[in-house]
Amino acid sequence: MLTCQPATSDCQGAVATGVSPTVTWTFPSEVVGHSLVSEARCEILNVLNEYGPPRELMELTEPLNQIHDLVEKAVARAESNSILIVGQRGVGKTTTSDRMALRAIAQQLDAPAQDVAALTDIDHEENDGASDALRSPKRTFAEALLHMLTVLQSGRRQSKAIVFVLDEFDLFTQHPKQTLLYTLFDAVQCHQLPMLVVGLTSRLDVVELLEKRVKSRFSHRQLTLSPPTQFKSYLALAKSTLQLSIDMTDPNMDRLHYRLAFNAQIERLCENAVFHQTLRQLYDLLRDVRTLYRALMLLVCDLTYESPMISGARFDLAMAEQLADCKLEMLKDVSLLELSLLMAMRSLVCQSILKFNFEMVYDEYRTFMSRSGAATGSGMRLYKKPVALKAFEHLLALEVLRPLEGTGSAQTFQEGSLAGGTTAAGHRLASSNSLKEYAMVQLLLDPIHVEELVDKYADCPPYIKAWATQ
């Protein structure tokens, strides 16, 4: 059974006024409940996996208008042009360009925008004979390129416009002589056939990758997209992504009531101060849309019949997984001896000793054990040097320590890899004839990371925790 607070108004009035209604109901059966939750989960996951367009495009009104103007000029006025859309992954490059192109082509064909894809498939099926020549495995790239060039040159300004959307544009620059890009940009310059070439890339230096002859035919029009620059846009993106679509004419009242209550819960969640603080941490750290999607995906995947609503506690756990330090996650299963050696290295770093060897680390470890009396009566004994050296080598294998170059350390570890033992690169160190104990290394963790590791370590002895506070 799933219950929410009683509604203060009817559903139609609540939606009309923009207030998120809350309702009370009970799933008629477990089968229906599972079906409704599964349907809602799949709808949100389709957005998070980018199988469809996002619900809203935040802070992209101006770029949308610029792209719309270019596509409208190509489709309605037969003006050819080219543009590069640059931005990191997940900011909306593909969605922006594809949406504008489909909408403009749909207007030209006097068809709804959602029918353009189907219309394109029908045209493709009707012209299988003509397209087989391009898709034939016997046709070389030069022959296919020549055929495409002939088709482009045979067009007229009265012909229907062609919009080319080149995703991962930087990969086309790696082709020999960049023949395809030269052909497209040269056709744009000829103005014989109305066409628009839109390149999408995440590389800021993509123009420098173009050859001189290609660069001379490119319009050098470039549009840069960025993630949301304001937290309220970031919050609105999370809210619109999690909310479900609602059809007030849906005859299935169970589905309608569940979706209304689900959206009302998302409204309350987005107004929660703890949720704001957690989401703000992610925004201040990355501002990456896809990282937000990964965190939200963990919430959506946990939706079940027994727990059909998203809660703030789940979001905190999901964010903790996304913001977890990979180094600390890798070291959470180290032995107590290895943790003690890391604490000894932290002690040396706090003394401004940034370069050290195993002998120095072991002396610090032995000094603390004898001073704290941990070796007697604490349940942990002072390990001998050969055993501690094995633990030291394991930390090297985890790449927590870096052998220093120019001091003979890197050469010692490299020569030792041919004889036995483990190195930071996963090789083997010499068991003899090499002074591994005196090879200089450097700790790749900050002291605060070591302290966090001690705090999260399961069943950590009190004297180790006391050592971390000194």
As for how many domains the chain has, the answer is 3
Contact 330, 433 (CB under 8 A): no
Q: Is residue 361 part of a domain?
A: yes
Which residue range forms the structural domain that includes residue 297? 11-53+230-322
pLDDT at 94: 66
Rounded mean pLDDT, 347-363: 91
342 SS3 class? helix
Distance CA 231, CA 294 (A): 18
E strand map for 236-286: none
pLDDT in tens, 253-279: 888 888 898 999 899 989 888 888 888
1 SS3 class? coil
All residues at 6 or more sequence positions from 35 whose CB lies less than 8 Å from its CB, including other chains: none
pTM for this predicted structure:
0.59
178 SS3 class? helix
pLDDT at 410: 47
Considering the domain architecture, whether residues 277 and 416 belong to the same structural domain is answered as no
Considering the domain architecture, whether residues 87 and 200 belong to the same structural domain is answered as yes
Q: Is residue 454 part of a domain?
A: yes
Residue ending a domain, choose from 192, 209, 224: 224
260-286 burial, b for 16+ CB within 10 Å, e for fewer?
bbbbbbbeebbeeeebeebbeebbeee
Considering the domain architecture, whether residues 79 and 219 belong to the same structural domain is answered as yes
Q: Is residue 110 part of a domain?
A: yes
Q: Which helix (H) or strand (E) holds 401?
A: strand 401-403
DSSP assignment letter at 208: G
Considering the domain architecture, whether residues 362 and 458 belong to the same structural domain is answered as yes
Contact 231, 199 (CB under 8 A): no
Distance CA 202, CA 180 (A): 20
Residue ending a domain, choose from 322, 348, 375: 322
Give 290's pLDDT tier (boundaries 50, 70, 90): confident
Share of the chain above pLDDT 70, in %: 72
Q: Is residue 6 part of a domain?
A: no
pLDDT at 376: 46
Considering the domain architecture, whether residues 266 and 299 belong to the same structural domain is answered as yes
Residue ending a domain, choose from 224, 255, 275: 224
Largest CA distance in the chain: 93
Considering the domain architecture, whether residues 174 and 211 belong to the same structural domain is answered as yes
Q: Is residue 67 part of a domain?
A: yes
Considering the domain architecture, whether residues 241 and 184 belong to the same structural domain is answered as no
Considering the domain architecture, whether residues 48 and 181 belong to the same structural domain is answered as no
Q: Is residue 2 part of a domain?
A: no
Considering the domain architecture, whether residues 282 and 334 belong to the same structural domain is answered as no
pLDDT in tens, 95-127: 655 555 545 544 554 444 444 443 333 333 333
What's the CATH code of the domain at 150?
A: 3.40.50.300
Considering the domain architecture, whether residues 89 and 169 belong to the same structural domain is answered as yes
Contact 218, 83 (CB under 8 A): no
Considering the domain architecture, whether residues 135 and 187 belong to the same structural domain is answered as yes
Distance CA 220, CA 203 (A): 15
pLDDT at 389: 92
Q: Is residue 3 part of a domain?
A: no
pLDDT in tens, 385-397: 999 999 999 999 9
Mean pLDDT of the chain: 75
Q: Is residue 31 part of a domain?
A: yes
Considering the domain architecture, whether residues 282 and 360 belong to the same structural domain is answered as no
pLDDT at 429: 41
